[in-house]
C-alpha cells in the first residue's frame, strides 16, 4: 500500500513540474533555475520507479520519452482536416473579401490574421482535461496516432487547467535555432540533413523512438477548437483567449482586423519582418472572426470558404556555381561546398552553400558551371532548390569525389559501407585538429578567449599544437615565435585564459573533447553521473545505457571513444597538465543564489560570456531575456530594448559600476 503522504507528495511534484514547464515553454518566463527544476524532476522519477502504480497519463516523465513504438495506428478524424485555399497577391485577397461580404450580405467583415507556421498540422483530444490522443493530418480524413511523441513536446499540456473534454488543432514546428543545431549534428555525423524546419518536424514526429523525439525540442501553437459552441465561444479571437486560459501556447502575433485593408497591412508587415521570428512562417492565415458567419459560409469539398492562406512571395535567386571546395570537419567528414557568383537574397549576399555529401550531389545532378535556383532554408541556410538544366551549354563539369584528403593528402573512405559521408582517415590531419581546437576553445566548452580560427590555423601550421592537450604546453616563447600580429600583451592574455580554462570542470571538458553525439546537456549528465573522468573511462556499456537520453548507439559510441588509446593518452596528459577532470556543480552557495540576472548593452570589464559564467559560478541564473521574475538588470553602454522592458516591469536596474560596488567585485 502507498501511504497518503506519498500520494500527496507525488501529486504536488507533478503539479509543480508542469507549472514550471508552462512558465518556461509557453510563457517564456521561468520561475526557478534549471538546477532546481532538475532536482524536482529526479525526485519524481525516483518516486515513479519505486511506486510504478503512481504514474498517471499526465505525468511529466512522459516528456523525456523512452518508449520504442512498433508502428503508428491510423485513426479517423472527428471532422476532416481540410486544406486552405491560398493566394499571393492583394487583388485576390480583396476578391476573397468581396465574396465573403456578398455571401453574408454584409458591407464589412472582421477577420483574424494569424501567422501561417511552417510545421505540421496536429489534432489533440482531451478527456476531462487529460491528453488522450494526438493525430497528424494524414490525408485529412484519417491521420496517424502520434500521442506518445506529442507528449514529449513541452509546450503541449498533458493536463489542461480546466477538466474539459475538448478537441483542438494547431501546428507543431521546429524552432530555427533547433533546426540549425540538428542539421549541424547530422552533417558532422555524415547523415543527410533536413531541407527545412518543416521537413525536420515531419521526420521527427514519425520517429519510433520517443526519447529521440524529446531531444529535438519541437514546439507548438494551438489555434482552433472543434465545436466551439459547446464552450460558449462565438469568435476566433475568443477561442484563442480560451485556449490560452486552458494552458495552450497561442501565437501572440495574431491580430483582429476590422476590414480587408488592415489584413493587407498585417501581411505587408510580416512579409518584411518574418525573418525576425524564431520560427519559420510562409504566410498569414485570414479567417472570418465570427463563428456564426463561418457556419453560414461552410466548406467546399477541400477547403473552408471562410478562411484563406495569404502566402508570402517566394524569395529565391538564380546564380551560377563557379567552383566546388571541400571542407574537412573535426571527425574527418569531407563536405562539398558550392561557391556561387555573389547574389543578394533576403537581406544578405550569398556566395556559398553546403552540398552536404556526394549522394546529395548525385541525386540532383549538380555540376560546376550550372545555373541554380537558391533559397534560404528556415530563412537562414542557403541551399540549392533546383538545377536549371535548360541553361546548360556543355561547359558544365561533374563534381568528382576526392580520392585523397584536400588538406593533408591522406587516405579517404567510409568507416562502414552504410555510411553516406566520405572521411579523411588520417588521425593526424591538420583540418581535423583545427576543428577540434575551435570546439575546445569555444564559449560552451573551455571558453578560451583570444584563440580564434585564424590564430588556431597559425598555431597548427607552425606545429606548436598537434593535439588538444598541447594547448596547455604553450608558453611565451612558443607564441612569440609566430611573429607578426601577436605581441607580449596579447600573449599574456591568451596564456592567462588557457590557465583559467583548466578549472572549467569535467562537464566542459567532456563537451570540448568532441565525443560523438555528446552535446552540452549530455556532457553535464555524464559529469553528474560519474563525477570523475576515471569513473567515466572505466564505465561499462550497461552503466552508460542506463542514463536517461542515452540509447544503445550513443552508449556504444561513448564506450568506444574512451577505450581508444589516443583518447586515453590525451586524458592522461590533461591530468598531468593540471586540467580539472572532476565535476563541480554550480549548485552551490553564492552571492547570487536563487537570483535571476540579465544584462543589456556592452560591459567594460567582462564579455557577456564571462559575465554569464561569473553569475552562474556564484549560484545565480543568467537570463538572456527580461522577464518579470528578474532580480535585477545590469546596464552597460548602448543599452537596448531590454532596459525599457525592465522599467515597464519595475525591475531593479544597476549600472555596471553600481553592480561591482554593490557586490564588492
Q: Identify which of 100-109, 350-359, 509-518, 599-608 has the greatest average pLDDT.
A: 100-109
Tell me the domain boundaries of the chain: 4-55, 86-311, 317-402, 430-501, 506-576, 596-662
Count of CB atoms within 10 A of residue 375's CB?
A: 21
Q: What CATH superfamily classification does 4-55 receive?
A: Helix hairpin bin (1.10.287.610)
- Strands 255-257, 111-117: pairing kind: antiparallel
Between the CA of residue 590 and those of 500, 581, 653, 660, 663, what are the distances in Å? 20, 22, 21, 15, 11
Q: pLDDT for 630-658, tens place per residue? A: 999 999 888 877 888 888 888 999 998 88
- The SS3 of residue 519 is coil
- 596-662: CATH number: 3.40.50.10190
Pull the grid cell for residue 520.
552540452
Q: pLDDT for 369-421, tens place per residue? A: 999 999 887 667 888 989 999 999 999 999 999 999 998 888 888 866 667 88
- The SS3 of residue 340 is strand
- The SS3 of residue 397 is strand
Evaluate if residue 118 carries a pLDDT over 60.
yes
Between the CA of residue 44 and those of 15, 38, 155, 380, 628, what are the distances in Å? 11, 10, 19, 39, 28
pLDDT for 571: 93
Evaluate if residue 50 carries a pLDDT over 70.
yes
Q: How confident is the model at residue 587 (pLDDT cuts 50, 70, 90)?
A: very low
User: Is 611 within 8 Å of 624 (Cβ atoms)?
Assistant: no
Phi, psi of 43 (to 5 degrees): -65, -40
Q: Report percent pLDDT > 90 for the chain.
A: 48
Nearest alpha carbon to residue 581 among 530, 516, 545, 541 = 530
Q: Identify which of 68-82, 89-103, 198-212, 415-429 has the greatest average pLDDT.
A: 89-103
Q: Write down the architecture of domain 86-311 according to CATH.
A: 2-Layer Sandwich (3.30)
Asked whether this chain's domains 317-402 and 506-576 adopt the same fold, the reply is no
Nearest alpha carbon to residue 609 among 474, 511, 512, 504 = 504
Evaluate if residue 176 carries a pLDDT over 60.
yes
- Strands 307-311, 86-87: pairing kind: parallel
- pLDDT: which is higher, 560 or 123: 123
Between the CA of residue 156 and those of 1, 58, 217, 243, 246, what are the distances in Å? 33, 11, 12, 11, 11
Binding-site residues from annotation: 34-38, 83-84, 114, 137, 171, 287, 311, 405, 408, 424, 429
User: Is 132 within 8 Å of 126 (Cβ atoms)?
Assistant: yes
Q: pLDDT for 215-262, tens place per residue? A: 899 999 999 999 999 999 999 999 999 999 999 999 999 999 999 999
The rounded distance, in Å, linking the Cα atoms of 619 and 627 is 19
Q: pLDDT for 248-305, tens place per residue? A: 999 999 999 999 999 999 999 999 888 889 998 989 999 999 999 999 999 987 899 9
Binding-site residues from annotation for Zn(2+): 405, 408, 424, 429
Between the CA of residue 81 and those of 170, 328, 350, 351, 481, what are the distances in Å? 11, 46, 39, 41, 69
Task: Give the chain's mean pLDDT.
Answer: 88
Binding-site residues from annotation for NAD(+): 34-38, 83-84, 114, 137, 171, 287, 311
Residues involved in catalysis: 116
Q: pLDDT for 521-540, tens place per residue? A: 888 889 988 989 999 999 88
pLDDT for 205: 93
Q: In what order do the strands lie in the sheet with 632-635?
A: 621-623, 596-600, 632-635, 653-655
pLDDT for 566: 81
Does the domain at 317-402 match CATH 2.40.50.140? Answer given as yes
Kindly report the CATH class assigned to 506-576. mainly alpha
- 430-501: CATH number: 1.10.150.20
* Stated pTM of the model: 0.64
Average pLDDT of the residues in 181-203: 82
pLDDT for 588: 46
Evaluate if residue 565 carries a pLDDT over 90.
no
Q: Report percent pLDDT > 70 for the chain.
A: 97
Amino acid at each position: 500500500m502507498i501511504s497518503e503522504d506519498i500520494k500527496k507528495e507525488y501529486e504536488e511534484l507533478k503539479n509543480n513540474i508542469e507549472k514550471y514547464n508552462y512558465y518556461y515553454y509557453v510563457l517564456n518566463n521561468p520561475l526557478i533555475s534549471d538546477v532546481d527544476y532538475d532536482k524536482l524532476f529526479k525526485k519524481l522519477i525516483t518516486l515513479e520507479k519505486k511506486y510504478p502504480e503512481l504514474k498517471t497519463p499526465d505525468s511529466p516523465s512522459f516528456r523525456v520519452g523512452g518508449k520504442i513504438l512498433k508502428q503508428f495506428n491510423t485513426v479517423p478524424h472527428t471532422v476532416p482536416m481540410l486544406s486552405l485555399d491560398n493566394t499571393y497577391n492583394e487583388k485576390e485577397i480583396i476578391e476573397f473579401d468581396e465574396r465573403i461580404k456578398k455571401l453574408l450580405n454584409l458591407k464589412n467583415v472582421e477577420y483574424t490574421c494569424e501567422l501561417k507556421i511552417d510545421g505540421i498540422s496536429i489534432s489533440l483530444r482531451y478527456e476531462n482535461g487529460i491528453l488522450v490522443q494526438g493525430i497528424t493530418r494524414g490525408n485529412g480524413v484519417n491521420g496517424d496516432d502520434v500521442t506518445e511523441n506529442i507528449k514529449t513536446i513541452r509546450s503541449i499540456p498533458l493536463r489542461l487547467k480546466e477538466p474539459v473534454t475538448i478537441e483542438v488543432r494547431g501546428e507543431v514546428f521546429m524552432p530555427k535555432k533547433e533546426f540549425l543545431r540538428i542539421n549541424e549534428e547530422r552533417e558532422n555525423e555524415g547523415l543527410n540533413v533536413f531541407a527545412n524546419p518543416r521537413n525536420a518536424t515531419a521526420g521527427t514526429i514519425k520517429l519510433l523512438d520517443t526519447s529521440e523525439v524529446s531531444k529535438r525540442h519541437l514546439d507548438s501553437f494551438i489555434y482552433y477548437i472543434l465545436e466551439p459552441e459547446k464552450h460558449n465561444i462565438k469568435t476566433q479571437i475568443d477561442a484563442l483567449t480560451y485556449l490560452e486560459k486552458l494552458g495552450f501556447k497561442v501565437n501572440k502575433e495574431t491580430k483582429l482586423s476590422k476590414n480587408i485593408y488592415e489584413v493587407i497591412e498585417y501581411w505587408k508587415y510580416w512579409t518584411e519582418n518574418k525573418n525576425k521570428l524564431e520560427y519559420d512562417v510562409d504566410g498569414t492565415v485570414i479567417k472570418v472572426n465570427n463563428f456564426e458567419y463561418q457556419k453560414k459560409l461552410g466548406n467546399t469539398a477541400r477547403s473552408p470558404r471562410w478562411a484563406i492562406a495569404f502566402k508570402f512571395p517566394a524569395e529565391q535567386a538564380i546564380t551560377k556555381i563557379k567552383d566546388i571546395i571541400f571542407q574537412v570537419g573535426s571527425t574527418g567528414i569531407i563536405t562539398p561546398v558550392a561557391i556561387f557568383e555573389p547574389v543578394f537574397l533576403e537581406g544578405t549576399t550569398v556566395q556559398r552553400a553546403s552540398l552536404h555529401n556526394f549522394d546529395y550531389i548525385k541525386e540532383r545532378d549538380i555540376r560546376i558551371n550550372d545555373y541554380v535556383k537558391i533559397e534560404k532554408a528556415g530563412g537562414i541556410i542557403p541551399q540549392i532548390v533546383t538545377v536549371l538544366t535548360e541553361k546548360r551549354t556543355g561547359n558544365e563539369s561533374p563534381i568528382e569525389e576526392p580520392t585523397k584528403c584536400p588538406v593533408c593528402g591522406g587516405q579517404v573512405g567510409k568507416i562502414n559501407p552504410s555510411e553516406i559521408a566520405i572521411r579523411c582517415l588520417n588521425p593526424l590531419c591538420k583540418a581535423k585538429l583545427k576543428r577540434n581546437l575551435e570546439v575546445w576553445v569555444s564559449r560552451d566548452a573551455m571558453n578560451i578567449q583570444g584563440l580564434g580560427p585564424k590564430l588556431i590555423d597559425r598555431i597548427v601550421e607552425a606545429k606548436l599544437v598537434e593535439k588538444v592537450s598541447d594547448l596547455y604546453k604553450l608558453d611565451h616563447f612558443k607564441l612569440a615565435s609566430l611573429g607578426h600580429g601577436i605581441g607580449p600583451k596579447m600573449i599574456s592574455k591568451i596564456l592567462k585564459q588557457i590557465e583559467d580554462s583548466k578549472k572549467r570542470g569535467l562537464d566542459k571538458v567532456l563537451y570540448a573533447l568532441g565525443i560523438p553525439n555528446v552535446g552540452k546537456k549530455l556532457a553535464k549528465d555524464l559529469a553528474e553521473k560519474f563525477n570523475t573522468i576515471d569513473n567515466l573511462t572505466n564505465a561499462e556499456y550497461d552503466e552508460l545505457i542506463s542514463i536517461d537520453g542515452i540509447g544503445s548507439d550513443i552508449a556504444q559510441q561513448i564506450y568506444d571513444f574512451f577505450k581508444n588509446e589516443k583518447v586515453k593518452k590525451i586524458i592522461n596528459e590533461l591530468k598531468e597538465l593540471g586540467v580539472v577532470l572532476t565535476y563541480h556543480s554550480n549548485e552551490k552557495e553564492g552571492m547570487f543564489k536563487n537570483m535571476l540576472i540579465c544584462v543589456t548593452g556592452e560591459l567594460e570589464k567582462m564579455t557577456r560570456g564571462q559575465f554569464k559564467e561569473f553569475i552562474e559560478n556564484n549560484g545565480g541564473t543568467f537570463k538572456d531575456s527580461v522577464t518579470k521574475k528578474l532580480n535585477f538588470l545590469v546596464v552597460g553602454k548602448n543599452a537596448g530594448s531590454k532596459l525599457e522592458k525592465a522599467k515597464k516591469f519595475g525591475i531593479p536596474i544597476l549600472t555596471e559600476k553600481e553592480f561591482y560596488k554593490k557586490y564588492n567585485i
